[in-house]
Amino acid sequence: MSEHTESYDPLKVSRFTYRQLQGLRQGSTATPLRVIAHIDLDAFYAQCEMVRLGTPRETPLAVRQWDSLIAINYAARPFGVSRLINVAEARKLCPDLVLQHVATFREGEGGRWAYRDDSFRSISTDKVSLDPYRAQSRKILQTMKEALATWGTDDTEVESHNPKQDLSAVLEKASIDEVFIDLSPLIYRALLQRYPELQMETQDENRDAQLPIPPITALQWDTDCLVDLDQHETEEDDPDWDDVVMLIGSEIVRSVRNAVWEKLSYTCSAGLGRNKMIAKLGSACNKPNLQTVVRNRGVQNFLNGYKFTQIRMLGGKLGDQITAAFGTEKVSELLNVPLEHLRTKLADDTASWLYGIIRGDDRTEVNPRTQIKSMLSAKSFRPSINSVDQAEKWLRIFAADIYGRLVEDGVLENRRRPKVITIHHRTAQFRSRQIPIPGSSAIDENLLYDLASTLLRQVVADGKAWPCSNLSLSVSSFEDGVSNNKAIEGFLIRGDQAKALNHSSRPRDTDDSPSEQASTEKRRKLDREGSKIKNFFGNSSHPEDTGADERDSPQEPAEMDPKLSGIPQFVCPRCSKSMIEYEKEEHDDWHFAKDLASQDREEAKASQPPPPTKSNARGTSARGRSGRGGGGRGKPEKGQMRLAFQ
């Protein structure tokens, strides 16, 4: 441990090099200066209902699905309300608990979901809809993106050193309520602005030279929760750049979280670390509404406290096998097992991956993915169903559900369409059948239904279709039929589909909204972008007047104006970023620069072991019942104790 220095000593140098600094700009997954954030909405479904219903934060609230609870807000948790108990028990523990049932589709009600007073009694006619939550998720994601895009550009009149380079954060939607963000490019930009001495003088300077030491001796961590340092580290040591980047990262994340709160009234928790694994574990450390920073100097101490089964990919059978093979689930104990020993019990790939991961080494990329890859609509049948007739009723609902989501996710605009439709069906075992979706016709509800129905008949023809305890329909293999040069044709396709949407959907039916639907305000046409969102919920997410409404205004498809609809949209085939025509050239330049940079990256990356290959899990006692017998989380079945690796 070095002695505490009160003043900045310009003769000291950093542990880090110019090359490692450059890694930030180039998306290197190996640089120790990388900063990844994981942001997780607090009790997401519960917050959605709190926002929709306007209940105060102190009011305990739970979201119910039939007789179970699927989300419990933080106000309710001190009462002991948890996901493991049922509605009656929850009421007993917390008499003032607000219990809101999820929205549902109902048989024979036009394929529209709604919040219904009696849905908890209607498990046999209703199907859960998560659409309201998906809609909120999209808004939150959008807000985060905007916050990231404007961070550091509003207050200071900045001129970037390389105006062509767009240094923006990569954002990966990990689930409906979680995102990963690679903050490295943004932080790189901020570093150069704040510390001009970091700039390399000339091109041919030695990139492996060490950086100057940061001109600071103490960092202000504000409201962040800091993870304790490793054994041989001390807070008295002067910070190096890996500490500084975390500090900047935490500033950015704070501003993102603040934007989500200010604009949409959602709280979230965040973790910051040098990779996805660390960030993910970190975000769960201090909930709700706090952010946790894991500095490099604290990584091992941080991980030592965990069971490795809590690390991503180790929560299932692989984790069980490892536990069995080495007789421990503690990271701290597995740390004592040398790589060679790991190799004797695990496949080489898996062993190296595991060896690295428990030491905090994870070089998984943050995948710039926002778009959904498949959509599934499913229903479990309490008493099983026994006829094609019954099944087809549900297929109608599934088709309506999926079609609505296709529209809402802007599938029509982006001319993205699924290529495959699959039916899943469970009697004794699970079975599934899939067929291509003909590329010729526009996708509408009826087409989906007809295909589903065909599949169902195939399943039935295969025999042993009844009784059926679970049925679902999914679409997948989305292809983005994008091309900037076909804007006009694209428009025509859109137009057709928009009409199809208008006419083909099932009779817009009899009397309106089943029960308590929020008032309908149907204005607001083509302004989905930066509009102040006053009405968080309700209307804008209801299929009846939603997505479609916000975007394509299906009420008046004939009047669609290609210019107003922002037609000359170009979507980069490489990164799916959408932009308008004149931005394309600059964007291509950016890719070009990035490609050059990736050479560097390859060198650095060479040593990263691949993630565990699932060459295992096979071999022994094939399938068999799901063995739900033994309580506790999935303990390995007898037949599976043997490792398939060796």
Partner DNA sequence: AGATGATAG
Partner DNA sequence: AACTATCATCT
Cα 598 to Cα 26: distance, rounded to the nearest angstrom: 7
Please tell me whether residue 369 binds DNA under the rule CB under 7 A. Answer: yes
CB of 443 to DNA, least distance (A): 16
Closest CA to 68 of 52, 48, 90, 46: 90
DSSP annotation of 226: E
Nearer to DNA, 40 or 549 (CB): 40
* 457 binding DNA? (CB under 7 A): no
| Residue 533 binds DNA, judged by CB under 7 A | no
Q: Is 317 in the site for DNA (CB under 7 A)?
A: yes
399 touching DNA, by CB under 7 A: no
Query: Considering the complex, what minimum distance in angstroms separates the CB of residue 429 from DNA?
Result: 6
- How many CB atoms sit inside 10 A of residue 637's CB? 18
Place of tokens 């006009």: 488
Phi/psi of residue 50, each to 5°? -60, -40
Q: How many CA atoms lie within 13 A of 138 on its CB side?
A: 20
Binding mask 597-616 for DNA (x = CB under 7 A): --------------x-xxx-
Considering only 13, 70, 335, 533, the residue that binds DNA (CB under 7 A) is: 70
| Residue 129 vs 352, nearer CB to DNA | 129
Q: How far is the CB of 471 from DNA (least distance, A)?
A: 9
Minimum gap (Å) between residue 112 Cβ and DNA? 14
Dihedral angle sign, alpha carbons of residues 251, 255, 261, 266: negative
Using CA atoms, how far apart are residues 427 and 576, in angstroms rounded to an integer?
40
Q: How far apart are CA 303 and CA 283, in angstroms?
A: 14
Per-residue CA distances from 148 to 152, 171, 181, 255, 589 (Å):
9, 9, 10, 8, 22
210, containing H or E segment? strand 210-212
Taking CB under 7 A as the rule, does residue 432 contact DNA?
yes
Residue 393 binds DNA, judged by CB under 7 A: no
Segment interacting with DNA, rule: CB under 7 A, options 62-70, 72-80, 239-247, 548-556: 62-70
Residue 421 is a binding residue for DNA (CB under 7 A): no
Rg, the chain, Cα only: 27
Work out whether 127 is an interface residue with DNA (CB under 7 A). Answer: yes
Residue 620 interacts with DNA (CB under 7 A)? Answer: no
Q: What's the closest the beta carbon of residue 100 comes to DNA, in angstroms? A: 15
Using the rule CB under 7 A, give the single segment among 7-15, 368-376, 385-393, 523-531 that binds DNA.
368-376
User: Is 625 among the residues that bind DNA (CB under 7 A)?
Assistant: no
Determine, following the binding rule CB under 7 A, whether residue 295 of this chain makes contact with DNA: no
Is the Cβ–Cβ distance between 68 and 87 less than 8 Å? Answer: yes
CB of 59 to DNA, least distance (A): 22
Give how many residues touch DNA by CB under 7 A.
58
CA dist., res. 243 & res. 375, Å (int): 41
Could you tell me where the DSSP H helices lie in 305-387?
317-326, 331-334, 339-345, 348-357
Position among 162, 175, 199, 234 found at the interface with DNA (CB under 7 A): 175
- CA–CA distances in Å: residue 224 to residues 219, 246, 272, 287: 12, 11, 10, 12
* Residue 366 within binding range of DNA, rule CB under 7 A: no
| Sole binder of DNA in the list 472, 497, 505, 546 (CB under 7 A) | 472
Shortest distance (Å) from residue 600 CB to DNA: 24
Residues 551 and 410: their CA atoms lie apart, in Å, by 8
Beta carbon of residue 119, minimum distance to DNA (angstroms, whole number):
11
What is the nearest approach in angstroms of DNA to the Cβ of residue 230?
25
Q: Which of 65, 122, 125, 210 touches DNA (CB under 7 A)?
A: 65
Question: Is residue 247 left, alpha or beta, with left meaning phi > 0 and alpha meaning psi from -120 to 50?
Answer: alpha
- Chain residues 221-260 in contact with DNA, contact rule CB under 7 A: none
For DNA, the closer CB: 150 or 613: 613
DSSP 129-155: --HHHHHHHHHHHHHHHHHHHHTTTSS
Q: Using the rule CB under 7 A, give the single segment among 24-32, 200-208, 376-384, 479-487 that binds DNA.
A: 376-384
Instruction: Point out which residues bind DNA (CB under 7 A).
Output: 65-66, 68, 70, 83, 127-130, 134, 174-175, 177-178, 280, 312-319, 367, 369, 372-380, 382, 401, 405, 420, 422, 429-436, 470, 472, 474, 611, 613-615, 617-618, 623, 628
